[in-house]
Structure formats: C-alpha cells, structure tokens
Amino acid sequence: MAVALIVIAVGVLWLAIGIRIKRTRSQHGLEQHSITPEALHTLLASNQEILLLDVRQPLDLLADSEIIPGAKRVPPKEILENPSLIPREKDAVAYCTCPGDKTARVIIRRAHALHFDRVKFLKGGLAAWKAKGYPVEPYLQSFHLDTAS
C-alpha cells in the first residue's frame, strides 16, 4: 500500500513538473512576440506602418476612456471570432489594460495559431505606455457593453 502511494505521488509530481515546464516554455515563446512601450514609440515616431489595436474589454474602456493616438478599437470578441480583422501583410500591435496583458495575449495566441505572424502585444499595455509619458487621447466613439451571458 505504501509503495503504491509513493508511486502515485511521484507520478503526480512528474505531471506537475511537466505542466510547469510547458507553461514556462509557452510564456517564453509568447514573450518573443511582445514589444516594449519604448520600442513601439520609436516605431511610431519613425512613421512605420503599424496597425495598433486597442483590444480592451468594454468595461476597461469605460473605466479608462483614453486610447493611443492612431489605435483602432476592436472588441476582443470580434477579433477572436474573426481573426481576419488582423491583416497578414502588415505589422500589428495589440494592447489592453488587463493584469499580465491577458486579453492581448489571448488575441496573439489565436492569431499565431492561424499563422498571423506579424502581430505582437504591447508589454504592460496602456498603463505602461502612459507611465512612460507617451501620448494618449480621449476615446470618443460609442461602444457597446458585452452583456451576453
């Protein structure tokens, strides 16, 4: 009985280690598809053609109704349902205000799974952009709160 419990415990431990390694590799791979606020600012200042996507959830937009100049607001649900909203032939950067850039990372994972390889996420999102003192402007467009249950 004791030997069986030890074998099970070792198996569970190996499984947990394997999951942790896979998660770490996945996060590291995703980090390669991030861009810092400084690097994005430099690209935008050099007039690089970049599609900047504000993929914040509606409630986040309601709480902080500013946007990076030139950004296009696209609800994350729309991009997940229709990834062709991200062009394949153009560099794109998505940002949000989620802790750990959760929404932007979901968008990037989905885009990369569909071989949209020219899309990155803004590391630290809108908050990191604003912390550097980079410009924002009021977001004045109307939008709908996602009330689907």
Q: The domain that contains 48 carries what CATH number?
A: 3.40.250.10
pLDDT at residue number 21: 47
**Looking at the whole model, is its pTM more than 0.95?**
no
Please indicate, yes or no, if residue 146 is contained in any of the structural domains. Answer: no
62 and 128, same domain (yes or no):
yes
Please indicate, yes or no, if residue 145 is contained in any of the structural domains. Answer: no
28 and 83, same domain (yes or no):
no
pLDDT at residue number 16: 52
pLDDT band, very low/low/confident/very high, at 24 (cuts 50, 70, 90): very low
pLDDT at residue number 149: 46
Which H or E run contains 60? Answer: helix 58-63
77 and 120, same domain (yes or no):
yes
Could you read off the pLDDT of 68-113 as tens digits, one per residue?
Answer: 999 999 988 888 888 888 888 889 999 998 878 888 888 888 888 8
CB 86, CB 51: distance < 8 Å: yes
Please indicate, yes or no, if residue 18 is contained in any of the structural domains. Answer: yes
Please indicate, yes or no, if residue 148 is contained in any of the structural domains. Answer: no
pLDDT band, very low/low/confident/very high, at 5 (cuts 50, 70, 90): low
Q: How far apart are CA 50 and CA 22, in angstroms?
A: 31
Please indicate, yes or no, if residue 144 is contained in any of the structural domains. Answer: no
User: In which residue are the tokens 């908050």 written?
Assistant: 127
Number of folded domains that form the chain: 2
pLDDT band, very low/low/confident/very high, at 17 (cuts 50, 70, 90): low
Could you read off the pLDDT of 112-148 as tens digits, one per residue?
Answer: 888 888 899 999 999 999 999 999 999 888 777 665 5
Please indicate, yes or no, if residue 126 is contained in any of the structural domains. Answer: yes
Q: How far apart are CA 116 and CA 109, in angstroms?
A: 10
Please indicate, yes or no, if residue 28 is contained in any of the structural domains. Answer: yes
- Residue 12 belongs to what domain range? 1-32
